Amino acid sequence: MERWSRFNIASVLLGFGFLYLPIVLLVIFSFNESRLVTVWAGFSTKWYSQLWYNESLLNAAWVTVRVAFLSASLATVLGTMAALALVRYSRFRGRVLFSGMVYAPLVMPEVITGLSLLLLFVAIGLDRGFWTITLAHITFTMCFVAVVVQSRLLSFDQSIEEAALDLGATPVRAFFAITLPVIAPAVFSGWVLAFTLSLDDLVIASFTTGPGATTLPMKIYSQVRLGVTPEINAICTILIGIVALGATIASLVTKRREVQRERDERAAFAAIG
């Protein structure tokens, strides 16, 4: 093992401090007895139980989850299709333009995406609310899905799809029986990414929302302007918990699969001797 130098220890502490100090503070104060956020007055979970009686907050959470689920699912379908087109048909006209345009929203300032979507919805006379947020989230998350799926497809041995065709499967069957199961982990992580992006989006949702459709980030933001309450800290802690749990499960699943695979390979070679 290499020894830890003082410099290394300092960098690690500094790095993690910057990353997690604010979050740790937030979590600690969510268990604060006092109504004053910055004054510690002993441990309590009362703000968590009070959450259940805050109907507008719960409503916002429900809207957020529905938007995130719906938009992530549709963005996954569209993003996967875009990735397939980009990887498979490398010779079609306008490919460079298309791939550039798929990825543009990655670097586009959210304010601009939000504003342009708002203008579109106004122009076509779409009533703003739940559905416009969902549509907007599909727009800005599908490119993330496309990136994730595309990188998987690049290492995908296309001859296995050809083998399926060769054995009598139609292209559609070959896709669903062979390609999709093989790239499923990438598609799933694309979905998770889209889901979390939608979950914590504030800017685009604010632009495209209408009466009656307030997402959790919007709710939190508007409440904070009236002063931070421990209740907000509590709901944020729950959100952090959900996201952390999701990320941990996702990485554990991948890790386990890798370990299993390695073990299988070793076993196979041991069997041959």
Partner 1 sequence: MKSLGSIRRSFAPWGDPASKPFISVKNVTKKFGEFTAVDDLSLDIYTREFFALLGASGCGKSTLLRMLAGFEQPTSGEIILDGQNLAGIPPYRRPVNMMFQSYALFPHMTVENNIAFGLKQDGMPKSDIAERVQQMLKLVKLEKFAKRKPHQLSGGQRQRVALARSLAKRPKVLLLDEPLGALDKKLREETQFELMDLQQELGLTFVVVTHDQEEAMTMADRIAVMSHGKVIQVATPAEIYEAPNSRFVADFIGDVNLFDGTITAMDEGFARLESVGGIPIRMVSTEKLSNGTSAAVAIRPEKIRVSRQPPAHAPTNAGEGEIWDIGYLGDMTIFHVRLKSGQVVKASSLNAVRAVEDPLGYDQQVWISFAEDAGVVLKD
Tell me the window of 42-50, 164-172, 194-202, 212-220 that interacts with partner 1 (CB under 8 A). Answer: 164-172
**CA–CA separation, 131 vs 9, rounded Å?**
49
The single-letter code of the amino acid at 97 is L
Residue 230 burial (C-beta neighbours within 10 Å; 0-12, 13-18, 19+)? buried
Judge contact between 234 and 170, C-beta under 8 A: no
Is residue 163 a contact residue for partner 1 (CB under 8 A)? yes
Site for partner 1 in 181-200 (CB under 8 A): 181-182
Structure tokens at 67: 């938007």
Which of 159, 211, 225, 226 binds partner 1 (CB under 8 A)? It is: 159
Which of 167, 211, 225, 226 binds partner 1 (CB under 8 A)? It is: 167
Contacts 24+ apart (CB under 8 A), 224-229: 228/37, 229/35, 229/37, 229/47
DSSP label at residue 178: I
- Residue nearer to partner 1 on the CB measure, 38 or 159: 159
DSSP label at residue 32: B
Judge contact between 208 and 136, C-beta under 8 A: yes
Which of 57, 86, 178, 220 binds partner 1 (CB under 8 A)? It is: 178
Tell me the window of 146-154, 175-183, 192-200, 207-215 that interacts with partner 1 (CB under 8 A). Answer: 175-183
Is residue 253 a contact residue for partner 1 (CB under 8 A)? no
- Residue nearer to partner 1 on the CB measure, 17 or 171: 171
162 membership: H or E segment, kind and range? helix 159-166
Longest dimension (CA), the chain: 71
Is residue 124 a contact residue for partner 1 (CB under 8 A)? no
Is residue 10 a contact residue for partner 1 (CB under 8 A)? no
- Residue nearer to partner 1 on the CB measure, 124 or 271: 271
Q: Across-strand partners of 32? A: 43
Is residue 169 a contact residue for partner 1 (CB under 8 A)? yes
Which of 168, 211, 225, 227 binds partner 1 (CB under 8 A)? It is: 168
Tell me the window of 62-70, 73-81, 118-126, 157-165 that interacts with partner 1 (CB under 8 A). Answer: 157-165
| Smallest separation (angstroms) from partner 1 to the CB of 210 | 44
Which has the closest alpha carbon to 208: 108, 104, 137? 137
Sequential DSSP letters for 115-165: HHHHHHHHHTTPPPSHHHHHHHHHHHHHHHHHHHHHHHHHTS-THHHHHHH
Tell me the window of 77-85, 229-237, 249-257, 261-269 that interacts with partner 1 (CB under 8 A). Answer: 261-269
- Give the binding site for partner 1 (CB under 8 A): 157, 159-160, 162-171, 173, 177-178, 181-182, 261, 264-265, 267-269, 271-272
